[in-house]
Amino acid sequence: MINAGIIGGSGYTGGELIRLLINHSQVEIKFVYSTTRAGTKVSATHSDLLGQTELLFSDEVDHNIDLVFLCLGHGNSTKFLQKHPFSETTRIIDLSNDFRLEANSSFESREFVYGLPELNRDQIQKTKYLANPGCFATAIQLALLPLANAKLVNNAVHINATTGSTGAGVGLSPTTHFSWRENNMSHYKAFTHQHLGEINESLEHLQKNKGKLLFIPNRGNFTRGIWATAYTQYKGSESEAIGLFKDFYKEAPFTQLSEEAIALKQVVNTNYCHLHVVVHDEMILIASAIDNLLKGASGQAVQNMNLMFGFPETEGLHLKSGVY
């Protein structure tokens, strides 16, 4: 058993992390830190946990904890660690974008490893400090890694991906307001989304001088999940392409290639990524679907924790979607 703490447990990713960890056989949550909700029940904020836990939010931090999860807004993890010098034995999993890029992966004496298990499993198993990938980044990388590994990303890749409203976080804004979001759709940060940096770095580790990524992110009128499609020029057969993907993910328990067309509901409330590959007229199309709060955030954080501590990779992540 390990003792874990959560910093920033009142948001969507914090709530999902609590839900996963209270059902994990090898973890005990020692504190959920919040300066604004200290002393109140976690289930009062996360009503889906009513009857499942009696945990209270706390304004105290145990700096000698075995593992701490940072579920803070982007830019705030660095500030928190500067104020809270955790023990050298404390392992850290950061769910923000503070340490994902190679240029930002060093913090004081710590070196953060980029935590995409399908790409960096060996490094994850050895590290004490981990940067959890972004949600769009996870869905898109899993769609493209097998092609980059085969040096086949030689032309521009056109990517269109739509995320649910929880991707914007728990804070209110005009574009997360029900009246705006319902029966509506829009794009944002076209060609400039912040997740492009980590996607490009991962792909370039496998293929130098790859084609350009042209990414259009969209806001969907649903709450959870990411649906992404990517297409580019490809001169092989469909069976050859499917073989590339099956071989690349043969040891990946949560990334599954479907022979049939996929749908978003298949992965919502799970830690799975489902992929589907089609080749037509020298073009390859990859569809990728994940739950943005699980495989795109908290579920992947638990998957990484399992690898870091030598637990079975799927422990605590046996979740089922509801497709009806």
* Residues involved in catalysis: 135
d(CA 295, CA 149): 22
d(CA 255, CA 116): 11
Burial class (CB in 10 A: 0-12, 13-18, 19+), 47: exposed
Which residues does 301 contact at the CB level (< 8 Å), separation at least 6? 17, 69, 93, 95, 115, 132
The CA-atom distances, in angstroms, between 179 and each of 12, 165, 205, 220 are: 20, 12, 43, 13
